[in-house]
Amino acid sequence: MSTLYLDRKNLFLRLDGHAMALYEDSVKRGTVPLKLLERVVVRGNLELESRLLCALADNKVDLLVLSGRYSRMGSMAFAHSHKDAKRRLAQYRFFQEKQQLADLSRQLVLGKCRKQLQLLHRAIQKRGDLRRIITQAVRTISEIESTLTGPECLATDSLRGLEGAAAAAYFSAFTALFAESLGFFRRRKRPPPDPVNACLSLGYTLLHFEAVSVCHIVGLDPLLGFYHEPAYGRDSLACDLMEPVRPRLDGLVWYLFRNKLLRSSHFTQEKGGCLLNKSGRKIFYAHYESFVLPVRRLLRLEGHKLAKFYIQSAAKLC
């Protein structure tokens, strides 16, 4: 086990030696050895002992608390922290170099476009009836890919325009992969109005948590991105890291609906928003864990490469 999902009400979590003990209505339901955990994801109204929080930190177990009925990110706590402050100093120094920021951003947008193309090429094989609309999207994104690999210098604002055009083409095809009865016609959130958007929002939240964790592991400031501009309360570097893997998460959501693993009975509508119910979340968490194993490795690899790049670039600038 590496991730423990706690998604129910009236739980009390207590430290029991070197394990986490779970109590429901004062009845002990089981224990989980802390050495088996890398992260804990909590949703629902439960209580934790303060000494358990300390034990989680001592055992390098990250904690994500999802708040609200729509599973928004409420709080994060990370036990991993790189000790070399020179990495952040190099990151801050690099942030002043606008052309190098644009070059790095270009690689990010290019990587995202290529992942979008991979999913759409796979979609053509599965949905021959949608070949025309998917091919149109592929053609548009391929043209953008050619621009990104060309010799022309592109400013960050131009890159954002290209990314936006690629996203518009991509979602015009991606939305067509789902039954019209699901009501998924474009990406919407806060609250997500349909089952597909509800799953995308939950998946992106979990991916964001993975990306912030990587920032702490490799010793970089998650608030200071190179493509996403700094904004109050936003982990911009984590947004950068997860951007190229978003299409992978999209593919997972498509898989869950294509194979009817998630159905209308797993969702409820409330106050204009769509909620993934407990049975639906159980299915989603299980498949997300299988999906995310290689993604975690990729995010950590990219994080370490970025930290190394910052250090080498800062040395050259000096």
Q: Is the peptide bond before 191 cis (omega within 30 degrees of 0)?
A: yes
Pairing state of beta strands 62-67 and 72-77? antiparallel
What is the chain's mean pLDDT, rounded?
90
Give the pLDDT confidence score for residue 318 in this predicted structure.
62
Report the alpha-carbon distance of residue 35 to residue 260 in Å, rounded: 35
CA 248 to chain centre: 10
Single residue among 77, 100, 115 that ends a domain in this structure: 77
Residue 94 contacts residue 310 (beta carbons within 8 Å): yes
Q: Of 47, 77, 107, at which residue does a domain stop?
A: 77
Q: pLDDT tens for residues 49-100?
A: 889 988 988 888 888 888 766 566 667 777 777 778 899 999 999 888 888 8
Where in the sequence is the domain holding 57, given as residue range(s)?
Answer: 3-77
Residue 11 pLDDT greater than 90, yes or no: no
For the chain, how are helix, strand and coil distributed in percent, rounded to 5?
A: 60, 15, 25
pLDDT digits (tens, 9 = 90+) for 225-240: 999 988 888 999 999 9
Q: What is the pLDDT of residues 94-140, one digit of tens each?
A: 888 888 889 999 999 999 999 999 999 999 999 989 999 999 999 99
- Do 202 and 309 lie in one domain? The reply is yes
pLDDT of residue 67: 74
> Which CATH number goes with the domain that contains 153?
1.20.120.920
CATH code at position 39: 3.100.10.20
Same domain, 216 and 128: yes
Q: With cut-offs at 50, 70 and 90, classify the pLDDT of residue 208.
A: very high
The two three-digit tokens of residue 307, written as one number: 């930290």
Same domain, 206 and 288: yes
The answer to whether the CB of 59 falls within 8 A of the CB of 34 is: yes
Residues 129 and 247 reside in one and the same domain: yes
What's the Cα-to-Cα distance from 284 to each of 148, 186, 201, 287, rounded to whole Å? 35, 21, 12, 5
289-300 in b/e burial notation, b at 16+ Cβ within 10 A? Answer: eebbeebbebbb
Q: What whole-number percentage of the chain has pLDDT above 90?
A: 60
Looking at residues 247-258, what average pLDDT do you find? 97
pTM over 0.85: yes
Domain boundary among 77, 94, 114: 77
